[in-house]
Chain A
Amino acid sequence: MIKNNKIVVEIKDVNIFFRKNMHKKSAFHTVLKNFSLTIKKNEILGIYGANGSGKSTLLKLIAGVIDPSSGKIVNFAKKTSLINLQVGFAPYLSGKDNIYLSSMYHGHTLKFISENMNSIISFANLKNGFIEEPIINYSNGMRARLSFSIAVHTNADLILIDEVLSVGDADFKINSKNKICELIKSDKTVVIVSHDLNLLKSLCTRIIDFV
């Protein structure tokens, strides 16, 4: 059975700073300073904070896209999926092709992708025929729908959502809320980053104020 106190991510005394370019004179940007956080299984963790407070960087750190400058992070999740607004879609390819590409990056086989294709498309709930259109014709909301749909179908047990929910329309918000509740029941963990406190309050089991 699921142990509710099982730890999924453990972050200890993490510092992240970087130079934007190679010039020696350029200043160091400190993004996270002595930051510690523990995320438990089956949690819906909300992270609330102003722009530029390092929320997105934290998610990238958990997703394993970047390494901390110092400190320790352990991610026990088998698979982590990060959804953000700057999705890595190929703009001139159709939605369908992009589903193939994204799923390949997530490590799925072609067979798995073909089997799940219909389910991904129907959850994204795009307007008629848009799935065959190039991504460049999509609106922000439609891209968010598609990337959310791909991410929830990746079988990730840790899902990181970066501001995606706030761009969708009411219909998308309801759908995604239901989906997130469903995910939690199926033994998954979700971290949501937003500057919309009401949204977080309505969804999350725990909220961290990020300053």
Chain B
Amino acid sequence: MTLLDNILNKRWLITSVFRSIFDLKTEIKKTKISFAWLIIEPLIYLGIFYGLFHYLYGKSTQVSFFILIAVIAWKWFATSINASSRSIINSKNLINQIYIPKYVFPFSCVITSSIKFTISLFVFLIISFFLDTSIFFKLHYLIFLIFTQLMLTLSISLFIAMIGPFFPLVISVVENLLTIIFFLSGIFYNLNNLPKFIEYIIICNPMFWVFDSYKNILINNTNLDYVALFIIQIFSILITFLSLIFLKKFDKKYPFLV
């Protein structure tokens, strides 16, 4: 644990939290709307998807609910990584003026999007309170799954933030990469109908397993795929550690690069 103590520090963790609160404030000020927007926005977003899948495509409530949770979970994952990828470069002026450990930047991006995800999740739970209460009996599975996804999101965000300034190309293609991962995560289709080689690619995608578990909870009413989720957790811990070590190693190189 001494290694971790060396890298992470309470003062900077608190700073990360404050940074993300101010990030949210900035977003609200930019759009010139009040704090209510934080609740109205997911409400509209979820309303559109529910309307589309339930009424237009005639899907069952369960399938529509799976789509809802899948889109907010995806938004959480994608926004964190996207924002983290350019977080160090965007703080160019700051890191040239005062020493700040570089993990603060991806950390606060992940915290910001996690706060937004939490709000969306609450909105989702309120909607399901009126339409289908069965989800409240599966909440413990959901929490375990969300925790796993948080670990994965954090690890990849740190990794992308670390390599971004060295390879600006990564920052330019990260959005496209995310789109590919999105379509390879099996939200809108079944794995059985696909050619074999695509199946092999898809099962290497950790987000596929996360969404598969959401599917299991909400549609199939089966158990979580614990083996896959534990593998994802171990993978996330490894990537997080590696990224933190490298972020520490290059800490004072970044001002030259950005």
Chain A interface (Cβ < 8 Å from any Cβ of B) = 18, 20-22, 60, 63-67, 81-84, 86-90, 92-93, 97, 100-101, 104-107, 134
Contact = CB atoms under 8 A, between A and B. Distances in A.
Interface stretch (B62-70, B90-98, B152-160, B182-190): B90-98
Nearest to A102: B98
A18 B11 contact: no
Nearest to A67: B252
Contacts of A101: 18-19, 22
Nearest to A29: B256
B18 A88 contact: no
Interface in B88-136: 91-100
Contacts of A106: 98
B22 A18 contact: no
Given A65-B99, A105-B94, A134-B29, 16 more contacts: A18-B256, A20-B257, A22-B166, A63-B99, A64-B99, A66-B253, A66-B256, A82-B97, A86-B92, A86-B97, A87-B93, A90-B26, A92-B29, A93-B26, A101-B22, A105-B15
7 contacts: A22-B167, A65-B255, A84-B96, A93-B25, A105-B94, A107-B11, A134-B29
Q: Which are the 7 A-B pairs with shortest beta-carbon distances?
A: A88-B94, A67-B252, A18-B256, A86-B93, A88-B93, A92-B26, A64-B99
A21 B167 CA distance: 8
A104 B15 contact: yes
Interface in B1-23: 11, 14-15, 18-19, 22
Nearest to A94: B29
Interface size classification for chain B: 20 to 34
Contacts of A65: 95-99, 252, 255
A65 B166 CA distance: 18
Contacts of B18: 100-101, 104
Given A60-B255, A97-B25, A105 B93 contact: no
B30 interface: yes
B139 to A, nearest CB: 34
Contacts of B14: 104
Contacts of A66: 252-253, 255-256
A100 B91 CA distance: 17
Given A22-B167, A86-B93, A93 B22 contact: yes
A97 B22 contact: yes
Contacts of A134: 29
A134 B30 CA distance: 10
Nearest to B30: A92
Contacts of A82: 97-98
A66 B99 CA distance: 8
Contacts of A93: 22, 25-26, 29
Contacts of A105: 15, 94, 98, 100
Contacts of B30: 92
Interface string B43-85: 0000000000000000000000000000000000000000000
A111 B197 CA distance: 60
